[in-house]
Structure 1
Amino acid sequence: MNLTDIAHSRFNMIEQQIRPWNVLDADILELLSVVKREDFAPAAHRDLAFADIELPLPAGQCMLNPKVEARMLQDLKVQAHETVLEVGSGSGYMAALLAHRAQHVLSLEIIPELADMARANVQKAGLTQVEVRCADGSHGAATDGPFDVIVLSGSVGEVPQALLSQLKVGGRFMAIVGDEPIMRAHLVTRKDATNFTTTEPWDICAPRLVNFAEPSRFTF
């Protein structure tokens, strides 16, 4: 695609996919124009960077649908002074979006090839406030926390309590939780040392993150 086609495709992504999904925050919509999604897509799929689909990544992983990333970003309400933990770096695109909102982003990726890809992409974008680390994100990063925001860029079978414990009071956690064909976004806010509130603002299915526990399926 030439620059005119790219600009047109980006405009259509924002106006035809993302706005209709109740992403109406003007700052978020502007950010989607600033962070070039096509620069984070694999070269073989660059022309599909703005499509309403999940984009394939190495090792059987994928970039989430653009409207899902945008809605998560809007719902988390990340502030400029906050620290963020992301689990599932993928290509680094979500970490890049978060970096424009937060003071610091630590992004964990268990697959070395993807960690290298994400790290190269965020460095190319000049985002020094992002650290991409090759690590098992199912354990979080307790020694680096607590965090204001924790976001899982993929789905899990249940909300991981170990990660909730790494939230600051007032902090927010977001993940897509459940099993196909029904999964829901869970937005959890830590109210104090022992109390949390949860909302489930929208439904979507997303690929599983690696190494997170699955809930018991015992039947009697």
Structure 2
Amino acid sequence: MGSDSKDSSARRLDMVREQILARGIRDPRVLEAMEQVPRELFVPRHLQDEAYEDHPLPIGYGQTISQPYIVALMADMLGLDGRERVLDIGTGSGYAAAVLASIALEVFSMERVPELAERARENLRKAGFSQVQVRCGDGSLGWPEAAPFDGICVAAGAPAMPDALSEQLAVGGRLVIPVGPEQGVQRLLCITRRPDGGFDREDFGDVRFVPLLGEEGWSRD
């Protein structure tokens, strides 16, 4: 067990050096979180050997765990300094929530698939992140009673910025979300709320995410 732990630690360091630093991410908080969170605990057992590979992995129910670089990029885009309350949409296996919880003050995470929400709670508990609150529900509507949030991170592609999420964003807060077609290439946007109530947008390029399903996302009806 000791050698397995050392091997995982070494693979995490290699991942950060080769996949994260090499692509220009420099925030020490993000790098430290990526080095510390045991990604192998958040992937299916039969895929644990691929936990640190540079690609997404299936986690069941048509969902995936994003590639490490994308998780790091989205955390970096939020610009966290450790004092923030963050809403994570699309809990999946819980990995991104764990990374965010390593940086932010509080993390609230939403997952629409009940089985994945329960699995994420267990994964987070095993990894030592039981402070993350996980709710099963429509992520496109956010978590109104816990708002406002200093950061909102959406791990699913939306047809447009959901009004419910923008309304739950604190002044100066950032919403990171893929926007575009249900299938194919989306654009990864960082939306910042201005004091006058308006929003500034920054485009970080092409990404591919599963669709954000819900009242203010894509419909399956």
* TM-score, with structure 1 as normaliser: 0.91
Q: Deviations over 1:57-102 (max 9, x none)?
A: 1211010111000011111112322111111000001111111111
Could you tell me how far 1:181 is from its partner in structure 2? Answer: 4.1
1:195 paired with 2:198, answer yes
Could you tell me how far 1:160 is from its partner in structure 2? Answer: 1.0
Structure 2 Cα separation of the partners of residues 139 and 206 of structure 1 = 18
Identity of aligned residues (%): 37
Could you tell me how far 1:4 is from its partner in structure 2? Answer: 4.6
Q: What residue number does 1:218 align with? A: none
User: What is the SS of the residue equivalent to 2:210?
Assistant: coil
Contact persistence 1:186–1:198 (CA under 8 A)? yes
Contact persistence 2:111–2:138 (CA under 8 A)? yes
Q: What residue number does 2:119 align with? A: 117
1:143 maps to which of 145, 155, 166: 145
Q: What residue number does 1:9 align with? A: 11
User: What is the SS of the residue equivalent to 1:75?
Assistant: helix
Contact persistence 1:155–1:177 (CA under 8 A)? yes
Q: Deviations over 1:121-170 (max 9, x none)?
A: 11122224310111111111112111111110122121112210111111
Contact persistence 1:152–1:176 (CA under 8 A)? yes
Moved over 3 A (4+): 1-5
Gaps of 5+ in 1: 216-220
Q: What residue number does 2:213 align with? A: 210
Structure 2 Cα separation of the partners of residues 124 and 203 of structure 1 = 34
Could you tell me how far 1:12 is from its partner in structure 2? Answer: 2.6
Gaps of 5+ in 2: none
User: What is the SS of the residue equivalent to 1:198?
Assistant: strand
Contact persistence 1:58–1:113 (CA under 8 A)? no
